[in-house]
Every structure is written in structure tokens, then in C-alpha cells.
Amino acid sequence: MKRFKQLISVIAAAAVMLGCLCAPAAAESPAGSLTVTIQGNNQGVSTAGITLNLYRIGGEDGDTWKLDGAFAETGYMEAWTEQSGAKMRTALRNIRGIVNTSGMNPSANAKSNANGVIVFESLPRGIYFGIATGVPKEMTVQNFVAHIPEAGSGKMDAQAVLKNNVTVPKEKNPYKVTIRYIYEDGTPAHQTYEGTYWPDDIYDVYSPVIPDYTASILRVNGVMPERDLQFTVIYIRNDDSIVIVNIPEYETPLGLGELQMHVGVCFE
């Protein structure tokens, strides 16, 4: 009899344990995941180390997505339903304004790897708004909204856009035109000319007249480049047996056989 009672006690205890193991536990919503790739490496700017903050702004109401609180008035659901790009841009600006002014904390955040990829695990189902921080000053990363269903996973691209670079005009400096006037033996024939010009200015200097001599260049002129210029004008004594022909610069081919070289053109 005693042994029978002990057997009943063991069976009862086993039944209690089995009941505990088989009792239904409180159901938990399986978490979802989101993989975001920040597109921009092809523009020559690194997308590594950018922090992406996710803000939960809504969830599922039965079979319908629904935004929370003030986010419901941003026009997002209408834009999402109609797939309207113009309305979506307005809605995203409205959402960001609420996030910035409400002081709400992100539901999740993570940094991108060397390839600009960020993986979020264990995200409760809902609608998330993404804002990037720590972005290189040369670019902006567009905001986005992602819908994460129960136990679902998603992949999306966050476009990184280079900012419009404002070209600052390079400050120009003046440059000098120097013209030396010499005789054939190298001695000075006239005072050296020195003039200061800004780039793209026109310089136009007539060679001085020296009796009984003819200048090799009667007129030095052109458009000022971004560098100094130096010229040498040689004065040759007039002689009836010598004929001096002044050749306009950059215009007259010298006709050296098949070589069509022009005055002012140099080659090695």
C-alpha cells in the first residue's frame, strides 16, 4: 500500500511537470531585419563610417499600415499609396521636421562598413524613418522610409548625392611684359620696356624708332596669359644690300619644305 501511494505521487508530479512544459507561453512578435546600402562610392567619396538612425514612426493596424501621432498628418500614407514622387518628397520633409523638433530618440542606429552597408537586426515590426549622420561634407544622404513586417526582412538603397560644388573664381594676379631692345652686338639700343597686365588683357607695344636702324619686330602685341612674357627686339643697321622683311607673327607660314612652321611656333 505504501509503495502504491509513492507511485501515485510520482505520477502526479510528472503530470504537473508535463503540464508546465505544455502550457502555451505568451506569444512574442518575431523581429525583422533591414539591410541598407548607402550608394555613393562610385562618386569618389567614401560612404564608410556613416551612422544611420532609424526612428519608428508607425506600425501595423491589423492588415493596414498606420502612422503614429503627428506623423499621420505628414501626408506620407497618401504619397505611399499613390506612389507620388512629389508628394513623397514633401512628406519626408514633414517627417524629418517632426523628428528634429520632437527630440525623439532613434529606435536603432548603426555605422556603415567599408562598402557603405548597414545591417539592422531585431527590428520590431513597424514603419521606420532613416536619417544619416556623420556624412562627409561633400555629400548628402537622402532620407527614406522602410516598412518592416513581422519576421520580415528588407533591403534598400539610401542614395548619397554629391553637393553642388560652387566654383570659387581663382584670384588672378597681374603679370609683366618685358621687352629688351638691343643692337646686333648685344648692346642696349633703347630703354627696356616693362608693363604690367592682367590675364586676358591686350598688350600692344610699338618698337621705338631709331634712326638708321630697323627693328626686327615692329610691334609686340597679343593677349596676356597667366605668366610673365619676355621679348627681345634686335635693331639692324640699314644697308641697301640687306632687305629686311617683317613677318607677322602667328600668321605667315615659313614654307620650310613640307614643314609648315609658323613664327612663334617652337618644336624640338
Digit-coded pLDDT (tens) for 110-137: 999 988 899 998 888 889 999 998 888 8
Q: Angle at Cα 87 formed by Cα 81 and Cα 93, nearest 5°?
A: 115
Alpha carbons 54 and 50: distance in angstroms, whole number = 13
Single-letter residue type at 24? P
**From CA 167, how far away is CA 54, in angstroms rounded?**
35
Instruction: Assign domain 167-268 to its CATH architecture.
Output: Sandwich (2.60)
pLDDT recorded at residue 141: 86
Q: What is the pTM of this model?
A: 0.50
Q: Which cell goes with 230? A: 619676355
Rounded average pLDDT over 199-218 = 92
CATH number of 29-162: 2.60.40.10
Q: What's the pLDDT score for residue 41? A: 58
Identify whether the C-beta of residue 112 lies closer than 8 Å to the C-beta of residue 52: yes
User: Domain ranges in the chain?
Assistant: 29-162, 167-268
What pLDDT digit, counting tens, does each position of 16-33 carry? 233 332 333 333 445 678
The model's pLDDT over 175-194, given as tens digits with 9 standing for 90+, comes to: 999 999 999 999 999 999 99
Q: Do domains 29-162 and 167-268 have the same CATH topology?
A: yes
What does the alpha-carbon distance between residue 265 and residue 163 come to, in Å, rounded to a whole number?
43
